[in-house]
Amino acid sequence: MNTIKVYLLDEMSNTPFTFEKGIQYLNKNGIFITQNEKEANWYVTRFFPFKSKTDMLFWRIRHRYIPILVWTDEPRFCTITQNYFKPQIYVPSVHIMNCYTNDIYINPFCIFGYWAISNKLNYATNETIAHKKSKLVCSLGSYRKEPLFINGNNIDLSEYRQNLSIDGYNKGIVDICGPNWPNNIIITQDTRKDKDWHKQKLNFIKDYKFNIAIENTLIKYYISEKIWDPITVGVLPIYYGNQWIYELFKKDSFIDTNNYHNFKDLFEHITTMTDEEYLNRLNLCIETYNKAFDSIDFYQQYYLMIDNIIKKLKTAK
């Protein structure tokens, strides 16, 4: 088996090129990370390397004339929808694999499954939700306004999530956690930079009945930990549902914001929801979670996505 050596142009954190399981699978298929740029067959980076003509002109001075793979599962790191750029006099060929080239998010579990769904859950009862009645809805996240236009469409959901959260906050229904919100709307400091931020997040939301768990971005199969985290601790997600989410979840399980004409109708529903409806919805979510835990090989789903990387590195030039 011929081996291929890749040199990382940036840290490539939280990618198959730095995650132990990903590296092992790449190695098994003849792909190896090298620290010696001179022996590399490919460059790999999360960001498009040429921001200006100057970058292109100096490429041959700074680097070798070998193919470049831009690989990222982060929607904002590379927003180019074209998957290939031909080599030019000063720069080699560039191959793009991102959220918009349809070769990363190929199933709902290829990125987040193996760590977002970690153990089988007990079903909720009246006793297990009794303590939640004093706290209704929480929303976690940084406040930002960064529209993300792809092919003329704004696929950003963070502003929608923020508007929903602020509307609920003004009604006295939603507690907000995170930095940079206007008018000092905050009840605790952001913990994302802490080593155990995920554990702190779960500990924070577990006492609420609902969690606003809307994704940052509208992309097929971009189903992050946001919807799984509240279910993990027995909290009902408020989610922006689209057709692919119903490949996993049953209707009338999570709160789908698409089912309401406006925020007023949504908040009116959750504030008047009976315990019977709440338990039924939550347990349908837990059923989906447990079914995935029992039947899905999450690493196999992850490796299916890495197979696309391997094919690209072995066949493209």
Domain ranges of the chain: 4-107+299-315, 118-295
* Mean pLDDT over each residue of the chain, to the nearest integer: 93
d(CA 68, CA 96): 9
Work out the pLDDT band at 190, boundaries 50, 70, 90. low
Give me the mean pLDDT over the 173-180 stretch: 90
The CATH number of 118-295 is: 3.40.50.11660
What single DSSP character describes residue 304? H
pTM, whole model, 2 decimals?
A: 0.92
DSSP class of 23: H
The C-alpha atoms of residue 236 and residue 289 are separated, in whole angstroms, by: 12
What is the model's pLDDT at position 256? 97
List Cα–Cα distances, 162 to 104, 136, 239, 277, 295, in angstroms.
Answer: 27, 17, 13, 26, 35
pLDDT at 64 over 80: yes
Confidence of residue 57 (pLDDT cuts 50, 70, 90): confident
Task: Report the candidate in 50, 107, 48, 106 with the shortest Cα–Cα distance to residue 72.
Answer: 48
DSSP β-bridge partners for residue 210: 137, 236
Q: What is the pLDDT of residue 191?
A: 55
Mean pLDDT of 90-116: 94
At 216, give phi and psi (nearest 5°). Answer: -75, -30
Q: Pairing between strand 84-85 and 94-97?
A: antiparallel
Average pLDDT over residues 224-253: 94
Of the pLDDT bands very low, low, confident and very high (cuts 50, 70, 90), residue 247 is very high
In this prediction, residue 192 has a pLDDT band, given cuts at 50, 70 and 90, of: low
